[in-house]
Amino acid sequence: MIISKRLAAGVCALLAALAVGFSPTGAAADETDPAQSPKVDLVLDVSGSMRTRDIDGQSRMAAAKQAFNEVLDAVPSDVQLGIRTLGADYPGNDRKTGCKDTAQLYPVGPLDRTEAKTAVATLAPTGWTPIGPALLKAADDLKGGDATRRIVLITDGEDTCAPLDPCEVARSIAAQGTHLVVDTLGLVPDAKIRKQLTCIAEATGGTYSSVQHTDELAGRVTQLVDRAADPVAVPVATEGAAQCTGAPQLKAGLYTDRERFSEHRWYRVDVLPGQELRASVSVGADRAVNQDYGVLLRAVTASGREIVRGEQSGNGRTDVISSGLRYPKAPQDDDDTEPAPETVCLQVSNSFSAPASVKTTPGLPVELTVDLVKAPDAASDVAAFGLGRGWWLLGALVLTGFLAGVLWGWIARWRVAVWRTN
């Protein structure tokens, strides 16, 4: 029995060693470099209008607090997070003082969830809405290091501190080349608020969302905090053409455009033999639209033959709809000649419509991603492509299970033999 226990312990040690040996990341995987940790500053509007009770039967402030508690519980351990307020301290009517009312409620750094929740719980709707000054201070909060940085602005109103235009503030932040993204969330579906918050977001490559329920707010902020760990890609403005001929030539990257309701726009991409084109498009409903809509992304040859398409439909329950496609081009047979690229025409179409009272200009915001990678050219590549980088881990697990079964079966047979001899 002692021998069998030792053998079992040996099997466990062997399996543990195999698991560690085949692991895609070693012990260092859990180690994080504080200097490179992504930084996020949540900027919360605490102005007097946040007392309004129009979110799930409670005040906007109460909904924001509830959402923040859920967000703080879900913040990844490697994200440095801070909370800044605007309009939280000065209740008076002096505009000059009110427009300076922004403060760091919780400093950007490693998160103490209990301390952060306690700080949020003390907030009460108070004063003005100095969005521009708050953005400038938030940019300062995030200085230092080379990691990604993100400001998430949650507000229910327009800035009340002109002439310091928050959109111009966002443009000045972007012009500094700091790779700082500002995302905006509006708690009121108002056209003026939407216009200002959209301008702030687009100036820095961020996103605007309208949220009118507590769960939507919590979910969107959590999504943006998680996204902070991703590399920041600054979109390039482009303008699609009415047909493939004369369409802009795109390389791998992220692009933005505007597309009118029910319009078709064209772009061109050169794909070399042995490359795979991966493209995706997102169209945002930044205003009220009719239900039942869709977006289509097609890859077409220069002669007009459709290669592949991706399409998606919606019914009014989301403010963004996306679709994508892949087109692998076979490697060239003759290696002695210079590879000739194939021009692929990308068509982006939407089937949005709007009520008569809604303006259809400018067009809907479009985000187009283009990537060119090595195409799968063998059965092994296809297998790896389908499973991603985890294919060898699956093989390791299968091998580990096989060895465990063999060793355990041998031990069981040995124990039965010992029992019979005794």
Interval 238-264 mean pLDDT: 93
pLDDT > 70: percent of the chain: 82
Q: State yes or no: pLDDT of 18 exceeds 80.
A: no
* The pLDDT of residue 32: 47
Q: State yes or no: pLDDT of 295 exceeds 70.
A: yes
- Domain end (from 175, 201, 227): 227
pTM for the model: 0.53
* The pLDDT of residue 113: 94
Place of tokens 């692929």: 344
Q: DSSP letters of 69-134?
A: HHHHHH--TT-EEEEEEESSS--SS-HHHHTT-EEEEEEEES--HHHHHHHHHT----S---HHHH
Looking at residue 127, which CATH number applies to its domain?
3.40.50.410
Burial class (CB in 10 A: 0-12, 13-18, 19+), 261: middle
Q: Which tokens is 27 given? A: 């012990």
Q: State yes or no: pLDDT of 407 exceeds 90.
A: no
Whole-number Å distance between alpha carbons of 196 and 201: 9
Name the band, by pLDDT with cuts 50, 70 and 90, for residue 284: confident
The per-residue pLDDT of the chain, averaged, comes to 82
Under a CB-based contact definition with an 8 Å cutoff, are residues 286 and 364 in contact?
A: yes
Torsion of CA 383, 384, 388, 391, to 10 degrees: 90
Residue 202 C-alpha from the chain's centroid: 15
Least confident of 23-32, 217-226, 265-274, 388-397: 23-32
Q: State yes or no: pLDDT of 379 exceeds 60.
A: no
**Structural domains in the chain (count):** 2
Q: Which tokens is 68 given? A: 């923040």
Q: State yes or no: pLDDT of 71 exceeds 60.
A: yes
Name the band, by pLDDT with cuts 50, 70 and 90, for residue 292: confident
- For residue 312, the tally of other CB atoms under 10 A from its CB is 16
Q: State yes or no: pLDDT of 354 exceeds 70.
A: yes
User: Are residue 117 and residue 246 in the same domain, yes or no?
Assistant: no
Give all strands (DSSP E) within 239-331, no chain letters. Answer: 249-250, 253-259, 264-271, 275-284, 293-301, 306-314, 320-328
Tell me the backbone φ, ψ of residue 207, rounded to 5 degrees: -130, 155
* Single-letter amino acid, residue 339: P
Domain that holds residue 116: 36-227
Interval 226-245 mean pLDDT: 81
The verdict on residue 6 lying in a domain is no
Whole-number Å distance between alpha carbons of 95 and 50: 18
* The pLDDT of residue 223: 87
Under a CB-based contact definition with an 8 Å cutoff, are residues 68 and 46 in contact?
A: no
User: Are residue 198 and residue 318 in the same domain, yes or no?
Assistant: no
The verdict on residue 408 lying in a domain is no
Name the band, by pLDDT with cuts 50, 70 and 90, for residue 73: very high
* The pLDDT of residue 313: 84
User: Are residue 77 and residue 103 in the same domain, yes or no?
Assistant: yes
User: Are residue 279 and residue 318 in the same domain, yes or no?
Assistant: yes
Interval 210-239 mean pLDDT: 83
The verdict on residue 278 lying in a domain is yes
Interval 136-147 mean pLDDT: 88
Looking at residue 289, which CATH number applies to its domain?
2.60.120.380
Under a CB-based contact definition with an 8 Å cutoff, are residues 202 and 221 in contact?
A: no
- Domain end (from 227, 249, 275): 227
| pLDDT tens digits along 255-282 | 989 999 999 999 999 999 989 999 999 8
